[in-house]
Structures are given as C-alpha cells and as structure tokens.
Amino acid sequence: MDFSLTDDQRNLRDQIIRFAQNELSPGARDRDAAQEFPHDLWLKCGDMGLQGLPIPQEYGGTGLDPLSTVIALEALGYGCEDSGLVFSVCAHLLACTVPLWKHGSEEQKKKYLPRLCNGRLIAVNAMTEPEGGSDAFSMQTRAVENENGFTIKGTKIFCSNAPVADLAILYASTNPDRAFIGGITAFVVESFTPGYTKGQKFEKMGLRTCPIGELVFDDMEVSPESVLGKVGTGGPVFADSMEWERICLVAVHVGKMQWLLERAIDFAKNRSAFGKKIGDFQAISHKIADMKVRLEAARLLTYRAATLLGTRSSVGMDAAITKLFVSEELIKAAQDTIQIMGGYGFMTEYDVERALRDSVAGTIYSGTSEMQRNIIAKWLGL
Ligand SMILES: Cc1cc2nc3c(=O)[nH]c(=O)nc-3n(C[C@H](O)[C@H](O)[C@H](O)COP(=O)(O)OP(=O)(O)OC[C@H]3O[C@@H](n4cnc5c(N)ncnc54)[C@H](O)[C@@H]3O)c2cc1C
C-alpha cells in the first residue's frame, strides 16, 4: 500500500491544520476549565465540512474516501488543542451520521444528513446503559411494537453530546430472546419527541468541552419510519458504525501524538541541565526516538485500516487492532512528554497535562482495550 499523500490530501491537511490552529485552539484551556461546549466553533467546523467528511456531496457532505477522511481527522487532532470539541465532532460523525448514511432510508438521509453535515443538527449515539457498556447487546431498553409504531422505554448513559443533541441514534431491544443477531433495532429519534428526556450531565476527567450525559426514554412513541435499517438489524448497524469509529477516531490520536512529539523535541532542545541540553542525555533522546517509532506505527496502522475500510465489507479485526494500539500509544506519548518536560509538563499552562487527561478515555469509549483484545482473540479462533 502506498500512503504518499496526493496534492489534494496535502492541501486538505494543511487547510485543516491552519483552520484548527487559528479558529479552534484559542481559548481551549479556559473552555476545558469551564467544561464549556463551544457551539460557535461547532458551527464553524460545520462550515468547514468536518461533520460530513466521508458523506457523499449529494447529501451535503464533503465526499472524501476513508483514507482522506483519516488524513483530515489526523490534521484536526494535530492542529486543534480543544480535543473535547474534536471528540464531539467525531462522535457525531462516526457513530451517528455515518450509520444514517450507510443504513438510512432515502427519506431519512434527505431529511437529516445535510443538517448533520453542516452542524445545524447535533447527534448523539445512545447505546451504553447504566448496567453495562461492554456487554452492550444485553440491553434493558425495550421497544415494543404497536399499531402506530413502537413504544420505547429505557435509560442510556455516558452519551457524548447528549446534553446538546437534537437527534439520537438509539439502540433498543425489540426481541429480548435474541441479542446481536435479530434482537436489537436502531432508531433515529428527535430530541423534542414526547418521552425523550435529557438526564444527568456528567463532569469528567478529560474531553471536558464535549458534554456527556444520560438520556431517559419514558414510554416514548415513535413511528415505523424512525427505524434505522430494519427491525432486528441494530446489532450489525452498531458494529458497522464502530468499525468506522475505531478506525477514524484514532486518526485524531495520531495527530495528537505528532503534536506531543514536537512538544517533547522542542523542550529537549531548549531545556538545559548539568551544563547541556536535556536532549543530549540518552535517557531523553531514546524516549523521544521511541515516541517517533510508535507514532509511525500508529499512523501506518490507521492508514492501512482506513484503506481496508474503503474496500472490504468487514474490517472488525483491523479496526480492533488499530483502536487498541493507537489509543494505548497516545496515553504513553502524553505520559512521556510530561516526563520529558518535568515540572513544566505537569502545569496546566503548558497544555500537555490536558492532553494526558484527554487521552485516558481512548481505551474506554468505542469498546475498552479489554474488549478489543477479546475481539482480536475471537478472530484468531480463541
Ligand atoms: C468519554 C466517553 C465517551 C463515551 N461516549 C459514549 C457515547 O457517545 N455513546 C454511548 O453509548 N456510550 C459512550 N460511552 C460509554 C462507553 O462506550 C462505555 O463506558 C464502555 O463501553 C465501557 O462500558 P462500561 O463503562 O459500562 O464498563 P463495563 O462494561 O462495566 O467494564 C468495566 C471493566 O470491565 C472490563 N470488562 C467488561 N467485560 C469484559 C470482558 N468480557 N472481558 C474483559 N474485560 C471486560 C472492561 O474492559 C472494563 O475495564 C463513552 C464513554 C466515555 C468514557
């Protein structure tokens, strides 16, 4: 596979880096402290086409192939110091807009995709429940079919964008005797539907500008047209969206690893101790060399998985390998950078401690590291 960037991809990357550095990064530290979702910047991202990167232009998207999508997201992760905002964009795009594009009816696509792509609608993926996230398909939320459609009752938790979302991609059990195959149905539900309540909003360690919360569905009536895909196909709809999320979201991590590497190098070249630059100590230079090796491996895995995403019907194992490796390496890169920067790295004003706080959730959301290892082991016949 040849991953040399085309002129278009290089221009796209440079344009997004410039936009992110100039428009999105200023004020990121203060917004993190205030846990503030920057709606104005969200709309600017929409104007740039970020919320619709791989969606076809006929539905208002940017129309990029999966590899160009990850190159764009890598640029966003590198240039944007507001990782919570980037996470909001990715959760909306990869777990909501992509499944609507892939599995929605023509009517659903025409109704929602243009406004999802330009950011005028915000979406939330509602899967996890208070009783368990990893064992997602044993969900308690029920959708009972009746003459007018479905009555949905249940509670979802830890849903990114939930407090600000206009639209939910909601998963509910339509057949409690079944699970992944045939038991779950996906629904597209507008937040003003009677019975749809935005519940508790959570404070969190990192990604603090992405609001996260609970959604409560109390005998919510929805029409048959709200079904995304077919009744009983929610398992595969979710799995497909997770393949996109696991591969494309970690492109943001690759960009952040590049940003951290540059921080570490810059500090090592300028900080002196014992009469020389700390980069002259092998303990520091080798740590930085290892960061570079892990960054290149992470980038290659991500580009390769994105290329497969565009050509194969299922990339479950590649998505798991990529997500597992890159999310764990990002945490190491942030820890190494803090160690290299010593006390400065620990201080809020140097922005690296925020990168570490933001990185930790990467081994939890979109399936924990343990679950990625389970998936890989299963593909290996274990
Ligand atoms: C920042 C953030 C954003 C999120 N955004 C969303 C969102 O937008 N929508 C949404 O629906 N959810 C979202 N989530 C929820 C996320 O998907 C779940 O937290 C995750 O799937 C883990 O579920 P859990 O928290 O219930 O942990 P549990 O499933 O209870 O797991 C607890 C621990 O047990 C381990 N474990 C569980 N089962 C096994 C097993 N079979 N083998 C080995 N280890 C196992 C887990 O790996 C973990 O270490 C988000 C979470 C975070 C942190």
pLDDT along the chain (382 residues), means of 10: 92 98 98 98 98 98 98 98 98 98 98 98 98 94 97 98 98 97 98 98 98 98 98 97 98 98 98 98 98 98 94 91 98 98 98 98 98 97 97
The residue contributing the CA closest to ligand 1 atom 17 is 365
SS3 31: helix
The residue contributing the CA closest to ligand 1 atom 40 is 371
Query: What's the confidence (pLDDT) of residue 314?
Result: 83
Cβ 126 under 6 angstroms from ligand 1: yes
Query: What's the confidence (pLDDT) of residue 11?
Result: 98
What are the backbone angles phi and psi of residue 141, rounded to the nearest 5°? -65, 125
Query: What's the confidence (pLDDT) of residue 132?
Result: 85
Domains identified in the chain and CATH numbers = 7-122 (1.10.540.10), 124-233 (2.40.110.10), 236-379 (1.20.140.10)
Structure-token pair, residue 94: 């990869």
Cβ 96 under 6 angstroms from ligand 1: no
Query: What's the confidence (pLDDT) of residue 312?
Result: 84
**Atom from ligand 1 closest to the CA of residue 374:** 42
Cβ 101 under 6 angstroms from ligand 1: no
Cβ 209 under 6 angstroms from ligand 1: no
Contacts of 366 (CB under 8 A, 6+ apart): 242, 245, 246, 249, 323
Contact 37/211 with Cβ under 8 angstroms? yes
Ligand 1 pocket test: pick from 134, 138, 198 the residue with the most ligand atoms within 8 Å of its Cβ.
134
Cβ 370 under 6 angstroms from ligand 1: yes
Parallel, antiparallel, or unpaired: how do β-strands 196-202 and 123-126 relate?
Answer: unpaired
Structure-token pair, residue 128: 């996890």
Query: What's the confidence (pLDDT) of residue 88?
Result: 98
Query: What's the confidence (pLDDT) of residue 1?
Result: 79
Q: Ligand 1 mean position to 196 CA, how many Å?
A: 23
